[in-house]
Amino acid sequence: MKLTILFGGASFEHEISIVSAITIKEKLSSFDLSFIFCDGDHKFYLIEPSKMKAVTFSKGEHKKMPQLTLTQGGFLQKSMFSTTEHKNTVLNLIHGADGEDGTIAALFDFYNISYIGPRVNASIFSYDKRHTKYYCAARGVKYVKYEALHSDEHKDISLDFPVIVKPASLGSSIGVSIVKEESGFDYALDTAFEYDKNVVVEPFIEGVKEYNLAGYMAEGEIKFSVVEEPQKEEFLDFEKKYMDFSRSEQVHKAEIDDALVAKLQNSFEKVYRGMFEGALIRCDFFVVNDEVYLNEINPIPGSMANYLFEDFSRVVEELSGSLPQKKHIQPSYEYIHNISSAKGK
């Protein structure tokens, strides 16, 4: 199968995207893969597969490789004497801004490019943690209570300490702090506001059970991964999550009963259906007193959560064969012609 991996982007998670792409190269070694790198200036480069190493990008060696532009149906490579079109299905592997905020999805929809990843609406409701809460409320999915703060206004919160402070539109635990006493709250806010003008504050639940579940839709049916119980201390900090992005060995199933698995899958399906078709997502859940609460939606999980599936190659093949098709509207100008005829013009 031919597949193009798009990675990089202008975001705080740029380097994590590179790590993910290198991992996916190894996991999909049986595929006919090509790689397109989006740099911090939003320039696209066709990367030689043998050069898919972190130092290629940290040393700027990618700038010596062919630069691409967008065209209808794919990417275009121009040289002095010829042009080459690259029109494979694209796996959107840009984490954070550009990839998960809907920018790339909008570009691909505009240029009619086939892609695996969240569509624009799905990106809107999963990129900003505040919007995810709104979405959960509309879908009947329980979520952790929260308060939202903005950098331009300072107000007291009604939540009791300890709390966890998160930038509203960032992943990988970047800018996240646990605040156990009020005296440390302002510093945590300053840290989060360095990354986002909007911040979400949630109660920090000591010893909460956390479970991760990934899935995708193929032929109208949601295919679930195994349920994972991530190993953590107080929470998964950036270093643990960064290492997580290079994971390729399948994890062991969480030791939970079938009833809880069914609850997690039911909540996942409520989140996924009618919104995330075309994407493989991972939902992170909390379980408190046998109740399931959505913590976060990962619309482009690290390394595509390959480690949660027994046969990741099959997953990608099934997903790529079940992508939603955007309806193409061709203007007919019938209305203008009718008006012109009525006026005798």
Q: Is the dihedral of CA 194, 197, 201, 204 positive or negative?
A: negative
For residue 245, pLDDT beyond 60: no
Residues 84 and 177 in one domain: no
For residue 244, pLDDT beyond 60: no
Banded model confidence at residue 80, pLDDT cuts 50, 70, 90: confident
Tell me phi and psi for residue 78, to 5 degrees: -105, 140
Within a domain: 7: yes
Q: Output DSSP code: residue 162.
A: S
Residues 130 and 103 in one domain: no
Q: Could you say which of 203, 220, 246 is where a domain stops?
A: 203
∠ CA 338-340-345, nearest 5°, is 145
Percent of the chain with pLDDT over 70: 94
Q: Which pLDDT does position 258 carry in this prediction?
A: 96
pLDDT single digits (tens) 268-288: 999 999 999 999 999 999 999
Task: Report which of residues 239 and 32 the model is more confident about.
Answer: 32
Q: Which pLDDT does position 339 carry in this prediction?
A: 85
Residues 293 and 210 in one domain: yes
Within a domain: 187: yes
For residue 241, pLDDT beyond 80: no
Between CA 320 and CA 31 the distance in angstroms is: 13
Residues 6 and 88 in one domain: yes
- Mean pLDDT computed over every residue of the chain: 92
Residues 129 and 160 in one domain: no
Q: Which pLDDT does position 146 carry in this prediction?
A: 95
Domain holding 100, by residue range, is 2-116
Within a domain: 135: yes
Within a domain: 9: yes
Residues 233 and 191 in one domain: no
Q: Which pLDDT does position 239 carry in this prediction?
A: 54
* 28: CATH: 3.40.50.20
CB 77 within 8 A of CB 86: yes
Query: Looking at this protein, which amino acid is placed at residue 247?
Result: R
CB atoms within 10 A of CB 83: 10
* 260: CATH: 3.30.470.20
* 154: CATH: 3.30.1490.20
Banded model confidence at residue 24, pLDDT cuts 50, 70, 90: very high
Q: Could you tell me where the beta strands, DSSP code E, fall in the chain?
A: 2-8, 32-38, 44-47, 67-71, 74-78, 83-86, 90-92, 115-116, 147-150, 163-167, 177-179, 198-203, 209-218, 221-224, 281-288, 291-298
For residue 243, pLDDT beyond 60: no
Distances from the Cα of 130 to the Cα of 133, 167, 173, 281, angstroms: 5, 10, 16, 18
Would you state the structure tokens that stand for residue 228, as one six-digit string? Answer: 């994972």
- Among 286, 177, 280, 288, smallest CA distance to 230 is for 286
Which H/E stretch holds residue 267? helix 258-272
Residues 19 and 98 in one domain: yes
Residues 100 and 161 in one domain: no
Residues 270 and 184 in one domain: no
Q: Which pLDDT does position 235 carry in this prediction?
A: 53
Residues 101 and 128 in one domain: no
Average of per-residue pLDDT across 172-188: 89
Q: Which pLDDT does position 174 carry in this prediction?
A: 84
Name the domain count of the chain: 3
Within a domain: 34: yes
SS3 state at 342 = helix
Task: Report which of residues 250 and 114 the model is more confident about.
Answer: 114
Residues 304 and 274 in one domain: yes
Within a domain: 334: no
CB 307 within 8 A of CB 212: no
The terminus-to-terminus CA distance of the chain in angstroms comes to 54
Tell me phi and psi for residue 142, to 5 degrees: -70, 145
pLDDT single digits (tens) 164-175: 999 998 766 788
For residue 242, pLDDT beyond 70: no
CB 202 within 8 A of CB 219: no
Q: Which residue has the tokens 């509207």?
A: 329
Banded model confidence at residue 332, pLDDT cuts 50, 70, 90: confident
Q: At what angle are helices 120-127 and 129-139 packed, to 10 degrees?
A: 110
Within a domain: 337: no
Average of per-residue pLDDT across 309-338: 92
Q: Which pLDDT does position 141 carry in this prediction?
A: 98
∠ CA 149-170-290, nearest 5°, is 80
Average of per-residue pLDDT across 144-148: 94
Residues 214 and 268 in one domain: yes
Average of per-residue pLDDT across 243-270: 85
pTM assigned to the model: 0.91
SS3 state at 130 = helix
Helical H segments across 12-128, by residue range: 14-27, 54-58, 103-110, 120-127
Would you state the structure tokens that stand for residue 63, as one six-digit string? Answer: 């700038």
Residue 66: asked if its preceding bond is cis (omega within 30°), the reply is: no
Within a domain: 328: no
The lowest-confidence range among 12-16, 155-159, 199-203, 221-225 is 155-159
Q: Could you say which of 182, 203, 224 is where a domain stops?
A: 203
For residue 118, pLDDT beyond 60: yes
Average of per-residue pLDDT across 138-165: 92
- Among 283, 257, 302, smallest CA distance to 143 is for 283
Average of per-residue pLDDT across 207-232: 93
Query: Looking at this protein, which amino acid is placed at residue 133?
Result: K
Banded model confidence at residue 211, pLDDT cuts 50, 70, 90: very high
Between CA 305 and CA 213 the distance in angstroms is: 9
Of the ranges 110-119, 143-152, 235-244, which is most confident? 110-119
